[in-house]
Amino acid sequence: MKKVFLLLFVLSLPVLILFAIYRQPIAAYTEEKFVEIPKGASTLRIGEILEAEGLLRSPLQTWLWRAVHPGKKFQAGEYVFRKEHTLDAVLSKIARGDVYFGQLTIPEGSSIYDIARILEEQKLLSGAEFLKAAQDPSLIRDLDADAPTLEGYLFPSTYRLPRKITGQSLCQRLTKQFREVWRGLNTTAYPREIVTLASLVEKESAAPEERPRIAGLFTNRLKKGMKLECDPTVIYAALVENRYRGTIYKSDLANPNPYNTYQNVGLPPGPIANPGLESLKAALKPARTEDIFFVAQPGNTGHHVFSKNLGDHNRAVEAYRRGQKR
């Protein structure tokens, strides 16, 4: 009987040793560890990378894990490790392909300058690198060959991004999303004019339900040959010239820059921001209205008072000023 138990023990000993190694805790670490697994890396190479980061005790442990899981393969990408403290936890994550992604949210109406600032604040990418990519002719060509930048075509949304991303790949990701949204609108309209009008609507409309009406108002002014006199275009003209000071001055209103619709009739030469879906829809289908003027309601409600003639508009402006003083 003792010989039987001894034989069973001897036979089970390798399994017990393997299990002990398999479940063995790795060295403790207190901070996040980011590890890049290159494409095409061998099992042994992956083990060496993980050992160098203190996530395995020996690169040979990757062979052990693969022997226990013969049908699983390690996947390339960047991984972040926080609470994985065993061989199985570390290598299971790589086999599942739980690649690390950060999150970038671009609000509707953000300009390329806003996006650059957001990227800097979140330490995702240099703002200068992003702005350079946003002016790359090779990226612009397929969208709007005559445009100076990708302004208007960087669709605002929330994106999952790798930690190491280039300005060019980010712009490609955002413009790809724009293309998908544009195709979904099922229109044959030329994008430049629609996106430009939509960008003005986006910047002027805090209340979503007003977007079609604002688009209709701007369309009326364009038909009549009136200047659009849209404040956000004054700001954008100053941003393009790198001289915006946080508010609009008389010199800004007098600026002859083509984007300034106080000085130039018609739409600006291109979008002044990146509009969302609803503003694009409003620009494609403006409300039928006789409005040609609008001013904000007093009290910062986010809504506007619309007028069909200058007299009514002047009274609305005076009411706004009284309300602001109160």
| pLDDT digits (tens), the chain, 326 positions | 555 445 444 444 455 455 555 555 565 667 788 899 999 999 999 999 999 988 888 888 898 899 888 889 999 999 999 888 788 889 999 999 999 888 999 999 999 999 999 999 998 999 999 999 999 999 999 888 888 999 999 999 999 998 889 999 999 999 999 999 999 999 999 899 999 999 999 999 988 999 999 999 999 999 999 999 999 999 999 999 999 998 999 999 999 999 999 999 999 999 999 999 999 999 999 999 999 999 998 877 888 999 999 998 989 888 888 877 76
Boundary residue ending a domain (131, 158, 184): 184
Tell me: do 120 and 209 sit in the same domain: no
Alpha carbons within 13 angstroms on the beta-carbon side of residue 318 total 6
| List of E strands, 119-264 | 158-161
Tell me: do 289 and 176 sit in the same domain: no
Tell me: do 168 and 222 sit in the same domain: no
Boundary residue ending a domain (184, 200, 226): 184
Tell me: do 119 and 86 sit in the same domain: no
Any idea what the CATH number is for the domain that residue 153 is in? 3.30.1490
pLDDT at residue 57, rounded to an integer:
85
Tell me: do 213 and 304 sit in the same domain: yes
Tell me: do 60 and 113 sit in the same domain: no
Boundary residue ending a domain (129, 155, 184): 184
Domain that holds residue 76: 2-96
Tell me: do 170 and 218 sit in the same domain: no
Tokens of 280: 């694009």
Total structural domains within the chain: 3
pTM attached to this predicted model: 0.80
Report the alpha-carbon distance of residue 161 to residue 222 in Å, rounded. 40
Among 315, 277, 310, smallest CA distance to 291 is for 310
Tell me: do 262 and 222 sit in the same domain: yes
- Nearest 5°: the CA angle 315, 319, 322 is 140
Tell me: do 114 and 151 sit in the same domain: yes
Tell me: do 137 and 167 sit in the same domain: yes
Tell me: do 224 and 313 sit in the same domain: yes
Tell me: do 196 and 274 sit in the same domain: yes
